[in-house]
Chain A
């Protein structure tokens, strides 16, 4: 059995304001293991940031204990903690004149003497971090010349150079385009495997988190932290519970969020699986659900589509034409009513 690198027992987190405690979450129990990617999910305002700030020692715990390698968090000096745990935050750092190499080298601060002089070993760690994140090609570039994706990789390299066992990232892919989101998440997953660091990623990217995490920590408002295998939590309906709103729900069968739509008609779609899937998505917006043996049907052929709709049969050249026809049909009914 692997020893956990970080454990929390009966942890209560929150703020102290004017000697009054404001509890955000209480009675949290969890463990974090080496080489593990944890996705921390929770709706806005449930206390994700508070939990991360407490774990990183910025904010004291109100009750219970957090321990790193069996030692209580409070027994670590600031510098010792910095050698165990590194952060990637959402804070902007654009305005400075740092090069990527300088930035990554700042991660060595907990290890250097008071002048901040880098030893050959420090330089080696910096070079390793840069190599692991594949940013050698921009290491001499200034930060203001980088794209958002490159900057985020540089920030991850900086956290790597800090060389702690735990890395915590707050919304690392929030403002990136999809290829960069995937790139960063894949990078983090690989880093966890190759460096055996434990990586906690707080994110709203549920679908990516489901794909990339070894474990999910789900935070619910005024409730427990639910820990488990992502797939298992999805099956048990835990994800629907925390993210379900009056406008949308988590579709367990497909692993995606869907807007609630009222199904008024049913249709039987005949085609290959991709055709059927995308057709169903288009028709759902119109309140038409898929059902085998329905009266209405839509068949895909090589160059056209045949629609049987309420007794009439029509042929169309594209899905767009079908949707236009059905929209018109529904609008006429609404206005005649």
Chain B
């Protein structure tokens, strides 16, 4: 690919610095005020304030790490889907992963309470994660079975959307007949949360992240060839079916795990690949996977800071923040870019 210019290198360093900045900002804000110096001391293990140690090590650090991995994973799966479908509107959830996960959680919380368990389970971090995983996995299984049979990816996209509609309908039915408190518990899950994660869940997220990233990187050649579409890729010796399967698998592992533990976090997956391209235009997926990972992580950490409403005791749902603050930013960036192009 074309030689990386020094400007691009400078921009990459800038991105890394902003990632570190967002990470530290995410750790420093919260309902309890901890001075920045103390924060660093605590992280280095030289502080003796037990309460602050507890807050930072048991609450803020796992939350910041999960924002880091979640943002990264969602952005990369968004990139994978946009490349696979050659569609700028594709995102991690086009294959119905979030619909499957939502159905799993809806069944657990709403249908489960009808037969005697459920609402209490939502407070347990594992139960909704397990339900979401099973739901997402079943949808994935269907998609993979179908992916082996269809000729073009556009069909797959439509089938993914149909799964979304069908599972959405079941969730609607469940919400219609379920009790208010169960419905509320479900709605809260759909708003997304980064705070419910502690180290054991984090470990699973990191393992899934590494597997997903490795699968994605194993396909960089095919991903690059997909700039030319499926026919050209095939003529370059790439097995489209195998490529499609591995990319679907990588996306499902990345986005599925995050959805299971954090809920369906919208916006990051679709927007970050575009933001990244605006900032550093590159056609080489070896670079764009990394860049999307960094930008996605920074963005979700940034949104996490905003959701803490610095200086207050309230926390906003992360899903609302990502869309509310992210969408105008992206619109502004894209319009800005377009107008500057016209001027040139």
Contacts and interface: CB of A to CB of B under 8 A. Distances in A.
Contact of A97 (B236, B237, B277): B277
B222 to A, nearest CB: 9
Interface in B271-306: 277, 281-284, 286
A109 B221 contact: yes
Given A102-B1, A106-B228, A86 B235 contact: yes
Contacts of A56: 235
Contacts of A110: 236-237
A107 interface: yes
A81 interface: yes
Interface in B202-233: 218, 220-221, 224-225, 227-229, 231-232
A116 B235 contact: no
Nearest to A53: B231
Interface string B236-261: 11110000000000000000000000
A99 interface: yes
Given A93-B228, A110-B237, A101 B221 contact: no
A98 interface: yes
Nearest to A96: B227
Contacts of A92: 229
B231 A106 contact: no
A169 to B, nearest CB: 12
Of the candidates B88, B220, B227, B281, the one having the most CB atoms from chain A within 10 angstroms of its own CB is B227
A106 B227 contact: yes
Contacts of A115: 220-221, 286
Contact of A114 (B218, B225, B282): B218
B311 to A, nearest CB: 41
B166 to A, nearest CB: 26
B124 interface: no
A95 B82 CA distance: 12
B46 interface: no
Given A93-B228, A106-B225, A109-B224, A116 B286 contact: yes
A107 B236 contact: yes
Contacts of A93: 227-229, 232
A91 B231 contact: yes
Contacts of B231: 58, 87, 89, 91
Of the candidates B237, B238, B281, the one having the most CB atoms from chain A within 10 angstroms of its own CB is B237
Interface size of B as a range? 20 to 34
A56 B235 CA distance: 7
Contact of B236 (A80, A82, A140): A82
Interface string B1-35: 11000000000000000000000000000000000
Given A99-B2, A115-B286, A109 B227 contact: no
A109 B284 CA distance: 13
A115 B235 CA distance: 18
A105 B234 CA distance: 16
Nearest to B222: A109
B273 to A, nearest CB: 11
B153 to A, nearest CB: 13
A282 interface: no
B286 A106 contact: no
A80 B281 CA distance: 32
B316 to A, nearest CB: 35
Contact of A98 (B88, B227, B238): B227
A118 interface: yes
B228 A116 contact: no
Contacts of A162: 236
Contacts of A97: 277, 281-283
Given A102-B1, A105-B1, A116-B224, A78 B239 contact: yes
Interface in A118-173: 118, 140, 162
28 contacts: A56-B235, A58-B231, A58-B234, A77-B237, A78-B238, A79-B237, A82-B236, A85-B235, A87-B235, A89-B231, A93-B228, A93-B229, A95-B86, A97-B283, A99-B2, A101-B2, A102-B1, A102-B284, A103-B228, A109-B221, A109-B224, A109-B236, A114-B221, A115-B220, A115-B221, A115-B286, A118-B1, A140-B2
Given A58-B235, A93-B229, A115-B286, 15 more contacts: A78-B237, A80-B237, A82-B235, A85-B235, A91-B231, A93-B232, A97-B277, A101-B2, A102-B2, A106-B225, A107-B236, A109-B221, A112-B221, A116-B1, A116-B221
